[in-house]
Every structure is written in structure tokens, then in C-alpha cells.
Structure 1
Amino acid sequence: MILDTIANAERYAALHPDFLEAMALLQTLDFANLPDGQVPCANPNIRIFIGREPMRSREDAKPEAHIQHIDIQVPLSGSEGYGWIDRGRLKHSLGYNEMRDIEFFDDTPDVWFDVAPGEFTLFFPADAHAPLVGNEPHIRKAVFKIRTLEYRIESP
């Protein structure tokens, strides 16, 4: 897991073949003027979604994890709380949805932290995360989905 400011995003470009492009998009997209929905991206290994999501309490936040994607999550309208736990420590799977590449767990995160506008958090498949924690009714956020190396589409 990585937590940093958007201004420092390029520091992580070498960690994955598609991070250079993803970090450039993170730093240059005008999120405030983009409509909700999927943002067009020419790279088939990067999908970007912007939306308004309901917030929840820590007690209601279930950890989730992915196999095929790395998440970069960016709160846009306010701070967002997250829980984190290493996927290897999870014991109570609620089932994996292959179509959505998401598995929820009935476990409690080990760590809680907040991410403010101007910051991002990056979750690898080993990072189970419980997003959307906060007191506001909703948050507008951007989520980047970057294919893991095993599921990456090679450019022609």
C-alpha cells in the first residue's frame, strides 16, 4: 500500500509498466470538470472511474481485495477513511466475483487512515482495503484500475 500526495505520484512510475501513464493522468486530469462515469483512456490496462459514493462507518466497512487489478484511489470532494489489512491475514471470505474482480471479507482491518483531496492511495492485490469510511453522506472520488502484470494486455 502507498499513501502520498498527487504531486509526488511520479515517484512510483517505475513500479509497474503502466504506472508512468497512470501517474501522468493522475497529475493532469481535471477531475473537477470530468463527468461521473468511466474516463476514456487509450491504454487497455488502465481504467478510470469517477463517481459519487455513499460513505459508511468503520463497523460497516468490509475489506475488499482484487486479483487482476491494482487500485489507485483519489478522494475529490473531501477526506475519505480507509481500513487496511494484509490479504494473507484475512480468514473470512464472502466470495470472489471474477466478473468484477472483487472479493469481500468479514474481517476487521488492522490500520485506519484518512486520505484528503490532493492525496492518493495505491492498493496492490495483497492490500485488502475498506474504503468509503466517513461522516459525510457521500464522497466524489476517482478510482484507477490498473491490470496486474499477470493480466496485463501487451500493446501490439
Structure 2
Amino acid sequence: MIVDKLENRHRYHNLHSGIQAALEFLANTDLAALPKGRHNIDGDALFAIVNDYDTQPPGTEPFETHRRYADVQFVVSGEEAFGYLPLEDQPPLAPYHDAHDFIEYDYEQNRAAACFVPLKAGMFAIFMPEDMHMPGTGTPPVRVRKVVCKVLL
């Protein structure tokens, strides 16, 4: 997991060409003007999902991981916290969902080991397949606009 401000994106260009392209898309696009939904950047190899929502208390949603994609999550407006812990031997709640590339994990079972990190407007987080994460948390509820770039690894 990596957390930083978009202005420091150049530090992460050597991680993966898709991550570099995602960070440049985030820096050079009017994200406030993009409509909600999926936006293709490079077909299924790189696409962005724009979402507007209110944050929820931790544990409202499960932890998740992905097998094929890395997430580059960028907060356009608002502020949230995300739960994080490394994937180790946690049993999934259900089998891998291939069509949407995710596995869910129980929050209560992992609560003691998890940490919650603030993600403010202008900041991004990169989650690799071994990074369990629970985005969209925060109390009291805050309205957030976030863009998630899905990078095929």
C-alpha cells in the first residue's frame, strides 16, 4: 500500500506503466466534471470508476482484495478513511468473484489488526493484490467524490 499526494506522483512512475498512466490521468483530467461510472482509459487494462457517496462507519462494508488489478484510489473532494492490513491467512467470506475481481473478508475477524488511514482531497492510495482494504469509511458521514483507477497487473 502507498498513500501520498498527487503532486508527488512522479515518485511512483517506475512501479508499473499502468500505475504511471493512472496517476497521470488523475492529474490531467477534470475529475469534478466527469460523470459517475466507468471511463475507459486503455480498455480493460486501465479504466477509471467515478463515484459519489457518503462515508460509512467502519465495518459497514467488508475488507476486500483483488487478484488481477491494482487500485489507485484518489479522493477528489471530501475526506474518508480506509481500513488496511496485509493479506495473510484470513479466510474469505465467499469465493473469489471473477467477473468483478474481488474477494471479501470479515471486518470483525480482522478488526484488532486493522489500521485506518485518512485519505483527504488531493491524496491517493495504491492497493496491490496483497493489500486488504476497506475504503469509504468515516464518521460522521462526509460526502466524497472518488475516482478509482483499475490497473491490470
TM-score above 0.5, yes or no: yes
Partner-residue secondary structure (3-state), 2:14: helix
Could you tell which deviates more after superposition, 104-113 or 63-72? 104-113
> Which range moves more in the overlay, 65-74 or 10-19?
10-19
What is the aligned partner in structure 2 of residue 56 from structure 1? 56
Q: Deviations over 1:76-109 (max 9, x none)?
A: 2211110001111423433321110011101325
Where relative contact order (Cα < 8 A, 6+ residues apart) is larger, the structure is 2
The count of residues paired between Structure 1 and Structure 2 equals 148
Structure 1's unaligned 5+ residue stretches are 149-156
Other structure's SS at 2:78 match: coil
**Is 2:117 the counterpart of 1:117?**
no
TM superposition shift of 1:43: 5.3
Query: What amino acid does structure 1 have at the position aligned with 2:101?
Result: D
For structure 2, the residue ranges without an aligned partner over 5 or more in a row are: none
Structure with the largest fraction of helix: 1
Q: TM-score, normalised by structure 2?
A: 0.88
In structure 1, C-alpha distance between the alignment counterparts of 2:91 and 2:119, rounded to whole Å = 27
Aligned identity (percent) is 26
- TM-aligned CA distance change 1:137 to 1:78, over 3 Å: closer
CA RMSD in angstroms, aligned pairs only: 1.7
